[in-house]
Amino acid sequence: MSKRDFLTTAGMTRHELDDLLDLATRIKGKRPGQVLGGKTLGMLFFQPSLRTRVSFEVGMVQLGGHCINLSSDDLYELEPNEQTIMDGRAEEHVKDAALTLSRYVDALGIRAAARTSTWEHDRQELLLRSYARHASVPVINLETVFEHPCQALADVLTMRENLVSLKSRKLTLMWCNHPEPKSLGPTHSVLQLAALMGMDVTLAHPLGFDIDHEVLARSKTAASDAGGSVRVSNDREEACKGAEVMYARSWGCTKYWDDNEREAMVKRSLQGWRVDEQLMATTNNALLMHPLPVRRNVAATDAVLDGERSRIYDQAANRAHVQKALLMQLLK
Ligand code: CP
């Protein structure tokens, strides 16, 4: 039987999503027992992480297994491209690392969310895809610049817990300012799942901060098939009217992906793009969501992050539950 990876929320069926969220709900607050006794998850972090690392570790331990974590400091520089002459900086090919690790661990998680080149290059997720191609064990995407599917599972579970049915509920995915260039992973992944659930999604961002064109087109089709919709607005105030969920997150400018200074210059005039009480007051008493970490009083104010409609810590907590469900599906 071929192994199953979890790399993207694109192409998930409604049945698969419901199954996973239902399992997460059943095991939430309970201990399903040592169902993954003796199993090992190897996680490779090429960028920092707090929530992803801790929630996976805690989840594996609660299921009777354990994790081994390596950061980029522990790893050789890797070559993801095939049939290259490795006379540069890379000491090891991903193929050799993946096939070796597959002899030690039962699943692999990869976080590789750094900008390395142009958007056309980075959107290919070469490191993650190379691990997935060569590893003989399941590979889980722990965030790339293109997707953060585990975060999106937790986000959809959080919305479902609050709104019950998500069909035709109004979600605004709101671009927020941030001093650093950020990935598009959480935005792409949650958009694709919200579309699958038939939500009415408004993607709100300043001119020039378009998301990936294929993700947008795919999401529009999926939403339409599920009885929902996806539209884009460049008007921050208009995009919030009637919103039942306000999902705040910064993402990078794909046009200037390989030019951080240019992006920073563009963002200097966009400081008004943050979520505050005034903006929240124009919504339909929206829940406030953010995948964290968040730049307080830059992306969103203390008042909304700490307000009674904020669900930011529920999202973080749900990471552990959806990931336990995912691990049970992939490894049991
Ligand atoms: N949301 C999220 O993935 O958090 P970390 O970067 O801390 O893992």
Are residues 168 and 307 part of one domain? Answer: yes
Nearest CA to ligand 1 atom 4: 51
Query: How many CB atoms are located within 10 Å of the residue 229 CB?
Result: 17
Cα separation, 300 vs 204, in Å, equals 15
Statement to judge: residues 136 and 169 lie in one domain: no
Residue 174 maps to a domain: yes
Tally of structural domains, the chain: 2
CATH number at residue 276: 3.40.50.1370
Position of tokens 């992803």?
52
Which domain covers residue 201, as residue numbers? Answer: 151-315
Do 128 and 215 belong to one domain?
no
Position 248, amino acid: A
190 lies in the same domain as 227:
yes
Looking at the structure, do residues 118 and 162 belong to the same domain, yes or no? no
Structural domain includes residue 157? yes
Are 171 and 195 within one domain? yes
Which residue lies with its CA nearest to atom 7 of ligand 1?
50
Q: Is 6 domain-assigned?
A: no
Q: What's the Cα-to-Cα distance from 29 to each of 59, 74, 250, 316, 320, rounded to whole Å?
A: 12, 35, 32, 15, 11
Q: What is the pLDDT of residue 1?
A: 55
- Does residue 280 sit in the same domain as residue 183? yes
pLDDT reported for residue 226: 98
183 and 231 within one domain: yes
Q: What is the pLDDT along the chain (332 residues), one digit of tens a residue?
A: 579 999 999 999 999 999 999 999 999 988 889 999 999 999 999 999 999 999 999 999 999 999 999 999 999 999 999 999 999 999 999 999 999 999 999 999 999 988 999 999 999 999 999 999 999 999 999 999 999 999 999 999 999 999 999 999 999 999 999 999 999 999 999 999 999 999 999 999 999 999 999 999 999 999 999 999 999 999 999 999 999 999 999 999 999 999 999 999 999 999 999 999 999 999 999 999 999 999 999 999 999 999 999 999 999 999 999 999 999 999 98
Q: Tell me the C-alpha distance between 99 and 238, whole Å.
A: 51
Write the residue with the smallest CA distance to atom 6 of ligand 1. 49
- 143 CB within 6 A, ligand 1: yes
- At residue 114, the pLDDT reads 86
Residue 317 beta carbon below 6 angstroms from any ligand 1 atom = no
Other C-beta atoms lying within 10 Å of the C-beta of residue 81: 11
Shared domain check, 49 and 98: yes
Verify that 287 and 160 share a domain, yes or no: yes
Residues 159 and 111 in one domain: no
Residue 8 lies in a domain: no
Determine, yes or no, domain membership for 307: yes
